[in-house]
Structure 1
């Protein structure tokens, strides 16, 4: 069971990372074709995709809520702990992607 938690953490981390980097890079290609500044839109997209990257990484919000419910009402504390660790892992992926975008573009993403 512990092995599966580590696998889930790694997958959530990289899914969140990929949503931020991929979404902002591909989105900036669209802004290039429309005549807007791609790097400025890359900033905007990276900021706007933060919460969606976490939601995509944990597999949707209803699964997370049902796992919390099961942990609270059925006494399964491992499910609550597992869901909390997975959310923290996804948040780490988002923060790493934002740092990567800052490094790539050369400006601070706020």
Structure 2
């Protein structure tokens, strides 16, 4: 995998995870308004953003266990570079999900 291809995939994983958390939280807030359900839109958005973080990472890296298997096979075969790249991609996805969660927390914070 070339450096530009890797960076492209890392940036894509970041924004996919960010979008899953941010978009789903905003839509959950809207649904809370429409249905008038407690605890209210702000708390609904905050709770959902925290609960979705791990699922956003799973979506960004492909939605399956294959990346983890790839890491295991690479390390057991003695190839650490592909495993390190995959771990970095997972880290980028986590950073995107975490950034989305922090932005939602900032939006719903009491002023």
Q: Could you tell me the TM-score, scaled by structure 1's length?
A: 0.88
Q: Tell me by how many angstroms 1:70 deviates.
A: 2.5
Q: Tell me by how many angstroms 1:46 deviates.
A: 0.6
Q: Deviating runs (4+, > 2 A) in structure 1?
A: 73-76
Residues 40-72 of structure 1 deviation map (CA, whole Å, 9 limit, x = unaligned): 111111111011011111112322122112212
Alignment: residue pair count: 107
Q: Could you tell me the TM-score, scaled by structure 2's length?
A: 0.87
Which structure 1 residue ranges, 5 or more long, are not aligned?
none
CA RMSD of aligned residues (A): 1.4
1:13 counterpart residue number? 14
Which structure 2 residue ranges, 5 or more long, are not aligned?
none
Residues 80-99 of structure 1 deviation map (CA, whole Å, 9 limit, x = unaligned): 01111001101111221122
1-side partners of 2:6 and 2:70: how far apart?
14
Structure 1 counterpart of 2:43, from 18, 40, 45: 40
2-side partners of 1:29 and 1:99: how far apart?
19
